[in-house]
Structure 1
Amino acid sequence: MENSKIKLLNNSINKILKSELVTDMREYYAQLPTTIIEDQTVYIFDGLIPKELNFKIAKHDRFLPVPTHIHTFIELNYIYSGTCNQIIDGKKVQLHQGDLIIIDTEVPHSIAKTDVNDIIINILIRKEYFSSMFFENLSNNGIIFDFLLNAISYTTTHNQYIVFHTNKNNHLKEDIRQILWETYFPTVCSYPFIENYLNLLFIDLLRVFEYDAHNNSSIKNHAFEQRIDVLRYIEDNFDTCTLKSVSSHFNYSPNYLSTFIRKSTGKTYSRLIREYKMAKVCFYLANTNTPVDEIAEKCGFSNLTFFYKKFNEIYEKSPKEYRATNR
């Protein structure tokens, strides 16, 4: 990005917003739902992403702390300048300029008061986004894919975050700047432009080797790797595999595999297969002009009435509406 555009972008980002002048947030927090986690009241952040969109880009409001909360989306915090101190699942995490943190759903965390020079960019992303937009881009790419797969699996335990020290990565810095430029100075096709740069952002994260990973039980423990192996195999072969064939591949009995999948994901085998097929449908809807009925059949839905019913149940919109909002 040219220096003139960087200067203009920095001026826009550094402006103090009206929301940053608020000094008392008690009324706002009083309206939020809460839950109890380990005897602590925790706020639930939901509905922050417009219903018709998959993600939201916004600058973090400075000057006030954010109390302990969880959210139903995946959150990325990029430290554009300054520092940011968070308490994540009881652990103090200090972030500096150029650091990027990915926080899984349902992870209790709070953010300390920030100063005028502490610019934090929040990227809020629906879980469904990864199973559609990243369907073919991040498969089999190590820790990021493992983390995102766990985040979208709807398992009962979500306790992960990853910190990336990206200050020396110019490609990633440029990804962020381009995303912010299209956010602050939107024009024709800004949304798909940002969507593509988000893809590049995650691909560039795969190249960042200096990272801190946290999980109450190691991210690479045997149970986790076993789950990843099974789910990757199903993802790679969902068009043709059956419960019996997957069981045979891993030397499990069908009953054991069925129970294993349910415990690992909270879903039945048939529902998991259906969701993989739906993810593929979403990929084709967002990236091709192929007729909907043809996409459905191509992705393994022979009963179109069943397909349309399930699609509406999952995404709360028709395939046509999904295509219109994700192009």
Structure 2
Amino acid sequence: MQPLTDFLHQETEIEKQQKKTGTFVPDFSEMKSQAPHLTNDLFFHNRDIYISKHNRYAPYPLHSHQFLELNYIYSGHCQQIINGQTYMLNQGDILLMDVGSKHQIECLEEEDIVINLLFKDNNISLQSLEEIQGNNSLLYHLLLSRHSHLEISQNFIILRSEEIPKVPQLLHRMIEEYFFQKDFSQEILKHSLSILLYELARSLPTAQKKLLQTRQDPFLQVLELIDRDYRGLTLAKAADQLKFNKNYLSNLVKEKSGQTFTELVHQKRLMSAKLLIQSTDFSIETICQTVGFSNKTYFYKQFALMYGMKPSEMRRKS
């Protein structure tokens, strides 16, 4: 990574000017306005993403975007003011800012390298990343769709380096492919972007997980247990693991979800089956057994009810 590190530490013309004066030099004409709002047209020319290094040696004024922005701290530190609150980011951390979030960046020193990654697709947002999680997690799926009152309204998320151990290596490869173009660089970037989005979705510390950690909501504990142990889980086993009375657990699930405990377990099994159908070559019978269904006829019937098609139809469309 040394060539990339050396490249990123080279001073741009704007950095040279800012180093002399200590004052901000606009990198886009739109930044000269009082409350700049940066649009897609400035960045994307037949590309899925735009990657740049943030200019050092002067504070960057308050601004907002019409797209999801990712700030990656390649080295050093970075202090930002986001929606009026001050946050310190360290090497390896990521800041995700949704459409409309406003931020300004304090002066970066020589060793502070911050990478900006902008997504062209307007459908990519914090909500879409949560929905990716919801496709394979009963906890996310139920709480995002039925219990939105539990969510904390926030248009940015900070992912600390210890939460995203695999992401830096992926980002370094993407940055290298972007700045040192070779054969197939655009194709590699396009596919790396998909992997990046799934890695971010996997790491996303949603409001629901924070509630689970801080309030120990019993229903959230049930959902997390089902997500983890759904294959052979029964009401009796769940009650034993959670130290709940079996009748209490049954009534709790019915009250909170409108479904029985068994129905929730089957829902999670079907979600996992869908993922395996779309992403593997396993036979439908193998998938049925893998996710915990012993009756193949029942599995086919429930799958069609939940997804509106047979497992074989879904595989053909994948």
TM-score, scaled to structure 1: 0.51
8 Å contact from structure 1 (residues 243, 258) kept in 2: yes
* Residue-by-residue CA offset, 1:17-47 (whole Å, 9 max, x unaligned): 899899876x99xxxxxxxxxxxxxxxxxxx
Report the number of matched residues: 254
AA at the equivalent of 2:276: Y
Find the residue that maps to 2:143 and give its secondary structure: coil
8 Å contact from structure 1 (residues 278, 311) kept in 2: no
Match of 1:127 among 107, 110, 130: 130
Q: Distance in 1 between matches of 2:50 and 2:141?
A: 21
Find the residue that maps to 2:213 and give its secondary structure: coil
Identity of aligned residues (%): 12
Please state if 1:308 is matched with 2:304: yes
8 Å contact from structure 1 (residues 101, 164) kept in 2: yes
Q: Distance in 2 between matches of 1:65 and 1:245?
A: 50
Match of 1:100 among 94, 97, 100: 94
Find the residue that maps to 1:290 and give its secondary structure: coil
Residue segments in structure 2 that go unaligned for 5+ positions in a row: 16-26, 41-47, 53-60, 109-113, 119-123, 180-184
Match of 1:158 among 151, 155, 171: 151
Find the residue that maps to 2:307 and give its secondary structure: helix
Residues 200 and 311 of structure 1: is their aligned pair in 2 closer, same or farther, counting only changes over 3 Å? Answer: same
Between Structure 1 and Structure 2, whose CA radius of gyration is higher? 2
Q: Distance in 2 between matches of 1:18 and 1:309?
A: 54
Q: CA deviation at 1:96?
A: 3.7
Please state if 1:285 is matched with 2:285: no
Aligned to 1:176: 171
Aligned to 1:38: none
Residues 198 and 63 of structure 1: is their aligned pair in 2 closer, same or farther, counting only changes over 3 Å? Answer: same
8 Å contact from structure 1 (residues 77, 121) kept in 2: yes
Q: CA deviation at 1:284?
A: 1.7
Aligned to 2:82: 86
Q: Distance in 1 between matches of 2:6 and 2:104?
A: 26
- Which residues of 2 match residues 144-223 of structure 1 at below 5 A? 149=139, 153-154=143-144, 155=147, 156-159=149-152, 163-166=158-161, 172-179=167-174, 185-187=185-187, 190-191=190-191, 193-196=192-195, 220-223=213-216
Q: Distance in 2 between matches of 1:265 and 1:20?
A: 48
Q: Distance in 2 between matches of 1:183 and 1:279?
A: 36
* Residue-by-residue CA offset, 1:199-222 (whole Å, 9 max, x unaligned): 66788x79xxxxx9999x875335
Please state if 1:272 is matched with 2:264: yes
Q: Distance in 1 between matches of 2:305 and 2:275?
A: 18
Residues 57 and 295 of structure 1: is their aligned pair in 2 closer, same or farther, counting only changes over 3 Å? Answer: farther
Root-mean-square deviation (CA, aligned residues, Å) is 5.7
Please state if 1:64 is matched with 2:47: no
8 Å contact from structure 1 (residues 79, 119) kept in 2: yes
Structure with more of its chain in helix, by fraction: 2
AA at the equivalent of 2:103: A
Residue segments in structure 1 that go unaligned for 5+ positions in a row: 29-55, 136-147, 207-211
* Residue-by-residue CA offset, 1:215-246 (whole Å, 9 max, x unaligned): 9x87533533x445433432343233334553
Q: Distance in 2 between matches of 1:309 and 1:234?
A: 21
Residues 76 and 189 of structure 1: is their aligned pair in 2 closer, same or farther, counting only changes over 3 Å? Answer: closer
Q: Distance in 1 between matches of 2:100 and 2:65?
A: 9
TM-score, scaled to structure 2: 0.52
AA at the equivalent of 1:223: Q
8 Å contact from structure 1 (residues 63, 115) kept in 2: no
Q: Distance in 2 between matches of 1:229 and 1:115?
A: 40
Q: CA deviation at 1:289?
A: 0.8
